[in-house]
A = this chain, B = another copy of it.
Amino acid sequence: MSSQITIALDVMGGDLGVNMTIPGAARALKTHSDIKFLLFGDEAIIRPVLSRYPDLKTHAEIIHTDQFICNTEKPSTALRKGRHSSMRLAINAVSEGKADCIVSAGNTGALMAMAKMVLKCLPDIRRPAIASVMPTKDGRVVMLDLGANLFCDSEILVQFSLLGAVYSKVVEGKETPTVGLLNIGSEDVKGHEELRTAAAVLERVSFSGKYYGFVEGDDIPMGTTDVVVTDGFTGNIALKTAEGVAKLSSLYMKDAFKSSPLAMLGGLLAKPALIRMKKKVDPRFYNGGMFLGLDGVCVKSHGGTDEIGFSNALQVAYDLIENKFNDQVAKELENVMGQESFFTADTTEE
């Protein structure tokens, strides 16, 4: 890796495609002039948009392909038939050492399946997780898994706890991040067997973070811990429920300010404060799902985001590379595994 960071970009992904990914890349370049972009996609579609961003043009190379993965494509089909797709070629660039990371706003399932197959997991990591950062009362929380694994045994939950703790430490800057396991009660006797076993392991090993205990759904937005670990089914539903309720609150508020002339005036006066508040929870600033645990950096942007949101996903990728996240994970694993063989006998594969 040179001092320059090379990002392989699947420019065809996302609802707005090149009209979002290319402006997003141009925006990221303003913050980090040391990024080089490999733009994977249809040259004829890329060129006219790229020509509007002369700075980006000098930092970008187009790798043409006219194939891309639809959002409705099944992961298995994408694996089989998408070998020449923009997404797949961008992932290949990372495995071939031509890029430091891959960023896509395309089909999540296809991206995960391809990235898993091409990049493989880090040594000793059994499964990659999708992680993301969410706003809390006084800061931010890292949550994983958000949908990569329906079921997670205790060993996988422990590994996700380590990944989350390292992320919170090296990227979020928390000195000793607290880690909570998402459960339906904070008492030790509650929840699945897998959770109780994972809790027992996290209590006895020493790692980058500090095991806090079981946390419940409301602990996520309250920021009780720096990291929340759960299986991909529960995590995905918790994340989307949170997004939905945040949207509902904002709809209710809009209705309230429209409900009377006095309320409208009040809303007008409070507008700057409300905009500041909205910015604090703007999903675009939390965009960028990290595929943690892969031997290569892969970041997934929301498909429906805009150039600001997409540039944030690029920022997330940049942070992971700049902070050598994967090297830190390798060290963490060595440290934890050196202490004690904490890996349980449970290695059920899906």
Contact = CB atoms under 8 A, between A and B. Distances in A.
B237 A189 contact: no
Contact of A251 (B72, B137, B192, B220): B137
A241 B265 contact: no
Interface string A255-270: 1110110110111111
A86 interface: no
Nearest to A257: B270
Identify whether the interface residues of A are mostly helix, strand, loop, or mixed.
Answer: helix
A232 interface: yes
Contact of A266 (B220, B248, B252, B269): B269
28 contacts: A74-B189, A135-B248, A136-B248, A147-B184, A150-B191, A192-B233, A216-B236, A217-B236, A218-B241, A221-B245, A221-B247, A222-B244, A222-B247, A222-B248, A238-B241, A245-B245, A245-B249, A246-B249, A253-B277, A255-B277, A256-B270, A259-B273, A260-B272, A263-B270, A265-B269, A266-B268, A266-B271, A267-B270
A276 B255 CA distance: 10
A201 interface: no
Contacts of A256: 270, 273-274, 276-277
Central interface residue in A239, A245, A262, by most chain B CB within 10 Å: A245
Contacts of A220: 241, 244
Can you list the 4 inter-chain pairs with the closest CB atoms, starting with the nearest? Answer: A217-B240, A266-B270, A218-B244, A266-B269
A113 interface: no
A276 B259 contact: yes
Interface string A273-305: 110110011000000000000000000000000
A242 interface: yes
A234 interface: yes
Central interface residue in A237, A251, A259, A263, by most chain B CB within 10 Å: A237
Given A184-B236, A269-B262, A247 B276 contact: no
Contacts of A187: 72
A205 B70 CA distance: 33
Contacts of A222: 244, 247-248
A221 to B, nearest CB: 4
A219 B247 CA distance: 11
A241 B270 contact: no
A217 B233 contact: no
A182 interface: yes
